[in-house]
Amino acid sequence: MPVITLPDGSQRHFDHPITIADVAASIGSGLAKAALAGEVNGKLVDTFSLIENDATLRIITDRDPEGLDIIRHSTAHLLAHAVKSLFPTAQVTIGPVIENGFYYDFAFGRPFSTEDLEKIEAKMSELIKQDIAVSRNVVGRDEAIAFFKGLGEEYKVKIIQDIPATETLTIYEQGDFADLCRGPHVPSTGKLKAFKLTKVSGAYWRGDSNNEMLQRVYGTAWKDKKTLDEYLKNLEEAEKRDHRKIAKAMDLFHIQEEAPGMVFWHNNGWTIYQQIKRYITERILENGYAEVSTPQIVDLELWKKSGHWAMFNEQMFTVESDNRHYAIKPMNCPCHVQIFKQGLKSYRDLPIRLAEFGSLHRNELSGAMHGLMRVRQLVQDDAHIFCTEDQLQEESLKFIQLLIDVYRDFGFNDVTVRLATRPLKRIGSDELWDHAENALLEALKKAGLTFAIFPEEGAFYGPKIEFHLKDCLNRMWQCGTLQLDYAQPARLEAYYIAEDGSKKTPVMLHRAILGSLERFIGVLLEHYAGKLPLWLAPQQAVMMNITDKQADYVVDITQKLKKQGVRVKSDLRNEKIGFKIREHTLAHIPHLLIAGDREVESRTISVRTMDGSDLGSMSLDQYVKFVETEVSKRGRIE
RNA sequence: GCCGACGUAGCUCAGGUGGUAGAGCAACUGAUUCGUAAUCAGUAGGUCCCGAGUUCGAGUCCCGGCGUCGGCACCA
């Protein structure tokens, strides 16, 4: 006779096994209607599942995060249901919940068109209206295989064959549609209120590019129309922040057909670029790095020795001259090892930190390019630290601390950190890996960072820490990285003389804070929606006159401000002041400086910021001081 | 690289079923001289991504290529 304990501690006694739906109904009719699933003793189950023994129960509604996941999962099923009824030859595969929605992969003879999508959506709405009850059946393995074979669902059969024999298999049915699924699901299709199919694309079966391509349909689902609309609106807003759009509006750069994946930086964009480079140079020099510069084109022999040619030759551009074969460098590291090797190094010289803003070329697959985020020519704020085993952890910690501080200056206080550990295919002893992983782990802990461990994701030569930033559409981009490398220094025969007089191979740390400057600028533009803080803004101020009378004054003040290092231009056009203000505000110029008769009279300028606040009149000196203070704050959030 | 969509004026985009390209903004010219997010009028502007084909005739249809976009895969 089950006694059911609810989240508020109250208990309900029943004299017979009871479903969650019934418990909900016994509490109230509103809850009965809202119930999507239940959590019984910490496990999510369907509302129609039977409770036979004493249990704690939480009824899941669309107010719970789990409720939303269930809605999305059930909407994925609804999608499959609609597809199967419209296109019976389509085979179902998997349909998981993802951030903000779900997708479902189908094997189908042809791609789905946008018209198909509309039809599918309409069918889904129809199925919702019919409010079809969902049921769950536990089935035996052979039974399940026979069942899906009978339906011609070959992929489901493959999926079942891969599920461990210990797991029970369940089939969910709604009307004439059945799918292998762990559940739970909403009790009936009528519970699904707000969804939208967003895009179709190809996706490889089991994520392997050697396999056939399936048709993936993406969708989003929410508890009600209101939250769905909010989400769609947010998406639209986010798309406006796309760095490619902002760049066009701000005249930052362009990319054209003749040089795919390579950037033509316009003056405005290049000003940002230079500003960042200058800043990083300053920061690394004060942190004991030495800046170097190495060749762009290097004989293939070096890349063979370093291991790059064997691993990454498809992504390397090559050139030929005088019967010699060269590669345009995709990375700086082998060249930095060459500098390390010049002259005998003692343990006393270590650590040696070599930094370079080298231009790198990587022949990325054509489909991989993405604005500034993924390009074929890039510059990293790259450096390699050569050190001893003992210095590993301290160097790692120092780097992480520098990175965090630099990110703060750019206004990023929220960074996703991953520790990628030993992959299956690797070189080096387990002791070495223990040591290396531990060094990074300890460094992360000491730095006080929260991070996730990504097992088997490390490089073949060593573990790595990845620092990811999000773009406006929530796509993650790796920016910073710290990698331990035991292989290259040895392969390229770098050594130092240890305390005991023996030759030892140094450990090499590959590290970058911003990663590719191109990508970082892309993320930065989206982060700020183009409204860069003063220190980065390519144009910091525009000085404008109200009528022609103040033109000379404006030219004079502009000149003086330029001499003081302010990135300012004048706008003397015969336009109304409102028009000029609007234009420069839309161009995200931080300071709008205005001079009318009053200002000429008092030798001042009227200062307005791009967010619309009027700072009143100030003298030239006052303004320059104001700029200096703002610039020195950089992008830090107090 | 794979699947799909797209490529028209400087920008954003319109151009059922084939009949010599259009709007808004920007540009240019003129008027206006104005106080914090759009003054008015006029003018000019095109290799419709490239190549081949079907057709009397192609921005539109077919084929091939390039690029971009959304995903997949990849990402030292």
Side-chain half-sphere exposure of A592, counting CA atoms within 13 A: 22
Answer whether any strand B atom is within 7 A of the Cβ of A330. Answer: yes
Q: Which residue is nearest to nucleotide B50 (CA to C1')?
A: A257
Per-residue model confidence as pLDDT tens digits over A408-442: 999 998 899 999 998 887 777 888 888 889 989 99
pLDDT given at position A431: 86
| C-alpha distances in Å from residue A630, one per residue of A96, A260, A476, A530, A539 | 47, 38, 30, 17, 14
Band the pLDDT of A599: cuts 50, 70, 90. Answer: very high
Strand B within 7 A of A312 CB: yes
Task: Assign A183 a pLDDT band (cuts: 50, 70, 90).
Answer: confident
Q: Rounded to an integer, what distance in angstroms lies between the CA atom of residue A13 and that of residue A2?
A: 6
Above 90 in pLDDT, residue A121? yes
Q: What is the mean pLDDT of chain A?
A: 93
Kindly state the helix (H) or strand (E) to which residue A476 belongs, with its residue range: strand A476-485
The more confident residue out of A329 and A436 is A329
Could you tell me how many helices (H) and strands (E) chain A has, helices first?
Answer: 20, 37
Helix (H, G, I), strand (E, B), or coil: what is residue A54? coil
pLDDT at residue A527, as a whole number? 93
Q: A582: how many CB neighbours lie within 10 A of its CB?
A: 12
What is the rounded distance in angstroms from the CA atom of residue A620 to the CA atom of residue A624? 6
What per-residue confidence (pLDDT) applies to A424? 80
* Pairing, β A605-609 against β A591-595: antiparallel
Strand B-contacting residues in A 159-188, CB cut-off 7 angstroms: none
Of the pLDDT bands very low, low, confident and very high (cuts 50, 70, 90), residue A109 is confident
Share of chain A above pLDDT 90, in %: 82
- For A536-565, write each residue's pLDDT tens digit: 999 999 999 999 999 999 999 999 999 999
**Both tokens assigned to A366:** 């054509």
Q: How far is the CA of A241 from the C1' of B64 (A)?
A: 37
Q: Which of residues 411-440 of A touch strand B (CB under 7 A)?
A: none
Instruction: List the catalytic residues of A.
Output: 333, 362, 380, 382, 384, 464, 510
Model pLDDT for residues A84-103, shown as the tens digit of each residue? 999 999 999 999 999 999 99
Q: Which two tokens stand for residue A218?
A: 């993406």
CA-to-C1' span, A548 to B34 (A):
10
Residue A138 CB lies within 7 Å of the nucleic strand B: no
Dihedral sign, Cα of residue A453, residue A402, residue A518, residue A531: positive
Check whether A358 has a pLDDT greater than 90: yes
When pLDDT is averaged across residues A30-53 and rounded to a whole number, the result is: 91
Angstrom distance (rounded) from CA A249 to CA A266: 12
Res. A445 pLDDT band, cuts 50 70 90: very high
pLDDT for the residue A457: 87
pLDDT in tens, A124-155: 999 999 999 999 999 999 999 999 999 999 99
Distance CA A202, CA A432 (A): 41
Q: How is residue A280 written in tokens? A: 């990083």
Mean of pLDDT values over A211-226 = 95
Protein-contacted bases of chain B (C-beta within 7 A): 1-5, 7, 11-12, 31-39, 66-76
pLDDT bracket for residue A165 (50, 70, 90): confident
Q: For position A87, what pLDDT does the model report?
A: 94
| Spatial distance from the CA of A115 to the C1' of B15 (Å) | 21
Q: Give residue A375's identity as a one-letter amino acid code.
A: V
- Interface confidence, given as ipTM, is 0.93
Residue A400 pLDDT grade (very low, low, confident, very high; cuts 50, 70, 90): very high
Pick the range with the lowest mean pLDDT from A14-28, A420-434, A596-610. A420-434
Give residue A315's pLDDT: 92
pLDDT confidence band for A466 (50 / 70 / 90)? very high
Q: Looking at residue A423, what is its pLDDT?
A: 83
Q: Which nucleotide is nearest to A606 (CA to C1')?
A: B36
Asked if the Cβ of residue A206 lies within 7 A of any atom of strand B, the reply is no
Tokens of A304: 């063979």
